[in-house]
Amino acid sequence: MSRTAATRVALVTCRPGPEVAVDRDMPGLVEELRAAGAEADAVHWDDADVDWASYDLAVIRSTWDYSWRAEEFTAWAERCGAVTRLANPADVVRWNADKRYLGELAAAGVPVVPTRYLAPGDAVELPEDREYVVKPTSGAGARFAARYTPGEHATAVRQLARMHAEGFTAMVQPYVRGIDVSGERALQFFGGRLLHASRKGAVLAPGTPYDERKVAHPGLERWTPTPAELAVAERALAAVPGAPELLYARVDLVDGEDGRPCVMELELVEPNLFLDLHTGSVPRVAEAILAAVGE
Q: Which of 246, 264, 236, 242 is nearest to 190 (CA)?
A: 246
pLDDT of residue 208: 75
Is 3.30.1380 the CATH classification of the domain at 8-97+277-293?
no
Buried b (16+ CB within 10 A) or exposed e, 186-212: bbbbbeeeebbbbbbebbbeeeeebee
pLDDT of 274 reads 96
Strands (E), the chain: 8-13, 39-44, 57-62, 85-87, 116-118, 132-136, 146-148, 170-174, 184-190, 193-200, 221-222, 248-255, 261-267
Q: Please state whether 247 falls in left (phi above 0), alpha (psi between -120 and 50) or beta.
A: alpha
Please state, rounded to an integer, the average pLDDT across all residues of the chain.
92
Look at residue 214 in the predicted model and tell me its pLDDT: 67
Delimiting residues of CATH 3.40.50 domain(s) in the chain: 8-97+277-293
* pLDDT tens digit sequence for 109-162: 999 999 999 999 999 999 999 999 999 998 765 567 899 999 999 999 999 999
Sheet holding 85-87, edge to edge: 39-44, 8-13, 57-62, 85-87
| 256/74 Cα distance (integer angstroms) | 32
Model confidence at 295, in pLDDT bands (50, 70, 90)? low
Residue 138 is predicted with a pLDDT of: 83
Residues assigned a catalytic role: 213, 250, 267
Where do the CATH 3.30.470.20 domains begin and end in the chain? 101-267
| Residue type present at position 175 | Y
State the Cα–Cα distance between residues 76 and 14, nearest whole angstrom. 13
Contact predicate 145/210, CB 8 Å: yes
- Establish how many alpha carbons lie within 13 A of residue 8's alpha carbon, considering only the half-sphere containing its beta carbon: 11
- Say which CATH architecture domain 101-267 belongs to: 2-Layer Sandwich (3.30)
Percent of the chain exceeding pLDDT 70 equals 96
Average of per-residue pLDDT across 90-107: 96
| Strand partners for 189 | 194, 249
Output the pLDDT for position 67: 85
The span from the CA of 80 to the CA of 66, in Å, is 15
Does pTM top 0.95 for this prediction?
no
